[in-house]
Amino acid sequence: MPYDHGLLLLELDTPEGRVEILHDMRVEKTRRRASRGLRLRFWRDTLPIVPMILRGLWRKDPDLPRRIKAALRLGLPASELSLDADFLAAESSSAAPRLTPNVITIIMPIYNAFELLEEALSRVVAHTDLPFHLVLIDDASPDDRVRPWLRAWVESLPPTTRVDLLENETNLGFIQSVNRGFAHAHELALRGPVILLNSDAMVPAGWASRLTAPLEDPMVATATPLSSDAEIFNIPIVCVRSELEDGQVDKIDALLQQQISASAPEVRAPTGVGFCMAMHWHWLADLGGLDTVFGRGYGEEVDWCRRAVAKGAHHVAVPNLFVEHRGGASFGPEKLALIQKNNAVIATRYPGYDRLVQTFIREDPLITARMVGALAWAETNSNLPQIPVYIAHSMGGGAESYLQDRLQKEAVSVVIRLGGAFRCRIELATPQGRLIANTESLELVERLLAPVTKRKIIYSCAVGDSDLGEIPSFLTTLAVGAEMDILLHDYLPLSPSYTLLDQDGVYRGLPDIATQDPAHRYHRPNGVILSLEAWRHAWGMALRAATRVQVFSEASAALLKQAYPEAETRLVVAPHSLLHPLPQLSVDESAVITIGVLGAIGPQKGAAIVVALSEMLSTRADINLALIGRIAPGYVLADSTQAHGTYAVEDIPHLAKRYGITHWLIPSVWPETFSYTVHECLATGLPTLAFDLGAQGDAVRKAKNGTLLRWSADQSDPETLARSILEALGAKED
């Protein structure tokens, strides 16, 4: 709804016909009061950053707009989580953690899950890299295959493998079985870390030393690895379970160990998760075992962990270790009921616990490791032959619409979004959900993506980035060992002036590399000024690294070949298709001429022409002007011009009828690479006018309902162009 004074028209289409209601908004007084409050808040927030603004203007800092937005908290991203480079290993692989000197005790309660036993136990024996004593507790499994198999398996082990099999005569439940294991560990008097391990947990090579390393700090009570099913320790998406392929756990863990430093910052968590949890012997002796009030299980480790916290201990994640958890195989359908019942006990005992969990999820101190693990999950998934990595801007528009259409067709995708409140936002979309994190460093992004051998780079647009001079080398680095498509949604590879407009806002063709026009020079934040020749050289290297260069119109192809003749062999012309089909519209021959301008109209889109046209028509009754969209700040339309505001493409037919549109105008003054708007206008069948420039000129030239307006750089002032529009309509200026 428009927040404006006057009558609001509400329209409802029903099978019986259209219902229209007029309502007087009566907001003029409220709007004035709100405007005063907004101005006060503006100056309150802006005055402290005036010195920063002045310094940025003096230095011609291209990152100044973004820094102002960040200071004013405008355009905040979907996630404010930031990646931490301290998590990443400095070398190609992490240094091995110091081995714990004492023998570790591994306690594994077993209840059914026969199909998983052999793999789970074989992995423990093969992959445990510390001296260990394994305690198995068969909790009277009703599956009569389990106990005989366990006995035979223990008998088959060499004498040097220390394994004890405890057999419950009756079913005691998970908690009492674990407590029996704790008591047995106490009898062994090993005084080393105790690891609680489920029979459906699949451990990778070298797991034990990494899991127990944090317990060298006597105040750490538990340590929990990342997993496919461990709630707040999950990858790729927190609290969302994921299925793994056979052997995928080993591949994910190897990549995680390679990329995450063994000395990564400590990540404290509100609890550990008992599927694979190392426990400090001191705290186990102090607190005792698990509380039997939790029955057969679920929530008991939360209770134990919160009791430890009450005595000053804390719990940590192990970000360089991944252990698969096949989730609930021992309990089956009872799981949900157990969780609901035991969560109620936790909520009563620890009223603030849920808030702690929600804070952990919101602040996600594991975001860097989770992003690394998520990329490793995608890299090792055999169902994903390729992982598309899109380089995109944060400015919306047609390029964003095209990107969203492509993303909907991808099973998994990565978007490196530039130019927002943070320099770079990484969006990883998976079937389980989206993972979003931010960084100011492109070098960190390169390090994250380097192990992803299946990556395919698709450059969409980088306009808005704080240092565009760094983008060509960034693309070239990402393209090493990978395919790369460069899409020409604008002319940034041809000039820092990505619309090819000179400093005075006029298009004079492809600028020569020797031009001295300031619009075609780039001031980097470090003070270096790139000439157009240096700019083309850098982008030429990126274009040579590309597998394919895609343009969306013949006009763009001609400009690209003129700037980079060597790119022609990789050049593909593939126009977009309309994202939403539009029906043909009819107009009453007696209707008053109404020019419709569609879209978000900024300076390069012809905002000055629309203002000039609006002023010329302000006193005329024989021709109207309506803006279905919005115009850039600073451009004021006459009161007689109707301005609708933001719209959805599928509403264009209805809006055209509502405002009585008889002709469409595309006032853009730059050679667009492709214009969704002009094709949407042409699709309605209404006469469509555009200047003889770029893709928009090509489109109207070929269309039966297109009218091509003459363009001349020498006669490109807004008033002259506005008069040429009226002349084309046969309605010369009064």
User: CATH number of the domain that 606 lies in?
Assistant: 3.40.50.2000
Residues 365 and 400 in one domain: no
**75 in any annotated domain:** no
Structure tokens at 326: 């096949």
Number of domains in the chain: 4
Structure tokens at 197: 């391990």
**681 in any annotated domain:** yes
**630 in any annotated domain:** yes
Return phi, psi of residue 362, to 5°: -65, -45
Residues 504 and 464 in one domain: yes
pLDDT of residue 75: 62
pLDDT of residue 101: 61
Q: Which residue has the tokens 């899409």?
A: 487
pLDDT of residue 100: 54
- In this structure, the strands spanning 162-167 and 201-202 are unpaired
The 10 Å Cβ neighbour count of residue 383 is 7
**712 in any annotated domain:** yes
**What is the H or E stretch that residue 718 is in?**
helix 718-728
Structure tokens at 613: 């046209």
Distance CA 377, CA 414 (A): 13
Low-confidence ranges of the chain (pLDDT < 70): 1-6, 75-79, 91-101, 327-335, 732-734
Residues 391 and 328 in one domain: no
pLDDT of residue 139: 95
pLDDT of residue 329: 46
Beta bridge partners of 483: 456
pLDDT of residue 528: 93
Question: Which residue range is the domain that position 504 belongs to?
Answer: 384-573
Residues 554 and 611 in one domain: no
Beta bridge partners of 276: 197
Residues 567 and 602 in one domain: no
pLDDT of residue 66: 75
Residues 177 and 325 in one domain: yes
**140 in any annotated domain:** yes
Residues 389 and 347 in one domain: no
Residues 544 and 447 in one domain: yes
Q: Angle CA(130)–CA(117)–CA(214) in degrees, nearest 5?
A: 30
Residues 33 and 125 in one domain: no
Distance CA 303, CA 700 (A): 70
Return phi, psi of residue 458, to 5°: -125, 105
* Helical pair 718-728 and 607-617, crossing angle rounded to 10 deg: 60
Distance CA 223, CA 319 (A): 10
Residues 291 and 159 in one domain: yes
Distances (CA, A) of 471 to 441, 659, 716: 12, 44, 33
**What is the H or E stretch that residue 642 is in?**
strand 642-643
Residues 434 and 347 in one domain: no
**579 in any annotated domain:** no
336, 370, 404 - which closes a domain: 370
370, 393, 424 - which closes a domain: 370
**318 in any annotated domain:** yes
Return phi, psi of residue 449, to 5°: -90, -15
Residues 206 and 263 in one domain: yes
Looking at residue 183, which CATH number applies to its domain?
A: 3.90.550.10
Structure tokens at 71: 């200071």
pLDDT of residue 369: 97
Distance CA 709, CA 700 (A): 10
370, 399, 414 - which closes a domain: 370
Distance CA 183, CA 168 (A): 14
**28 in any annotated domain:** yes
pLDDT of residue 257: 96
